[in-house]
Amino acid sequence: MRILVVGAGAIGGYFGGRLMQAGRDVTFLVRARRGRELADAGLVIKSPKGDVTLSDPATVLAEDLTDTYDLVLLSCKAYDLDQAIDAIAPAIGPSTMILPLLNGMRHLEVLIDRFGGSHVLGGQCMIGATLNESRAVVHLNETHLLTFGELGGGLSARIHSLAGVLGNAGFDARPSEQIVQDMWEKWVFLATLASSTCLMRAPIGDILAVPGGSDLILALFEECRNIAESEGFAPRAEFVERSRSMLTASDSPLAASMLRDIEAHARIEADQIAGDLLRRRRSAPSGHNRSLLVVAYAHMKAYEARRARTLAAEPR
């Protein structure tokens, strides 16, 4: 199976690198700068699961992409989706599978509209990873799970085939019969985590240490959970229990990657994680309760506005 990994950043670099390490046929679709970095230093992964340096990974620039691939692993940031879609178009053949690992849900609608539903799978990953100053992929925890499945549910022949390719490749690969449900549950958790830790500019443990911190986190979780339920994807009891436990663990260092991005003055996925969830809300919280998700989203957008203003004022 020929695999095109879109991007060689933290997510694409990790999963694509592990696949390459396992002997799979992997090519990275990269920008020119990243291509030069990989040619010079190789793809470097630093991980509790084992470090590796992969010399001379196969790369291709968008303007040079002409071949079609069996699998396109879409690992870009959600705000880069439109650009990525244009870039991968030449790689999509009659039976190409597109496996997106983006946050939120709107990317599924966009991909289906462009390429048709038969090409698009559901997917998600659970991993903490970043690029360090030397542009190595740094795996931050023990979790490295990739889940995938048919949007319509069930386990098809191609999902079984894909499981054989992604399995035994140095990370946990799990086919799912209910991938859309899985994706909604991840979205609920991520929106809660990003909204709370970015709003308070602190990890979970520090928020819990202040008066009202636990109430704020759990109220955000309930608001996000209610939106999922109104869309027909009520989070399952096991997920709710596990999430509440993680979100109320004292001294927890857990924080959203969006908080790291804010602290690094980088771009964030405000619209994809919080904004699109609010767009799907059927009704506002009742009574005198104010929507904490609205407040968190406004906080994210204010950060984006300030960042844009600051960048515009910098000398060219």
Let me know: does 42 contact 19? Beta carbons within 8 Å. no
In angstroms, the Cα distances linking 121 to 89, 224, 281 are 16, 24, 25
Which stretch of DSSP H or E encloses residue 185? helix 179-200
Tokens 């559901």 found at = 122
Q: Please tell me the distance from the alpha carbon of residue 190 to that of residue 39, in angstroms, as a whole number.
A: 34
Tokens 């989203």 found at = 297
Task: Find residue 80's DSSP bridge partners.
Answer: none
Residue 157: other Cβ atoms inside 10 A: 7
Q: Please tell me the distance from the alpha carbon of residue 118 to that of residue 164, in angstroms, as a whole number.
A: 20
Tokens for 284, please give them: 């506002």
Q: Please tell me the distance from the alpha carbon of residue 304 to that of residue 272, in angstroms, as a whole number.
A: 13
As to burial, measured by CB atoms within 10 angstroms (0-12 exposed, 13-18 middle, 19+ buried), residue 1 is middle
SS3 285: coil
Q: Please tell me the distance from the alpha carbon of residue 16 to that of residue 12, in angstroms, as a whole number.
A: 5
- Among 95, 125, 97, 94, which residue's Cα sits nearest to residue 111? 97
SS3 17: helix
**Which residue among the candidates 49, 77, 186, 301 is catalytic per the annotation?**
186
186 is catalytic: yes
Query: Any idea which residues carry the catalytic annotation?
Result: 186
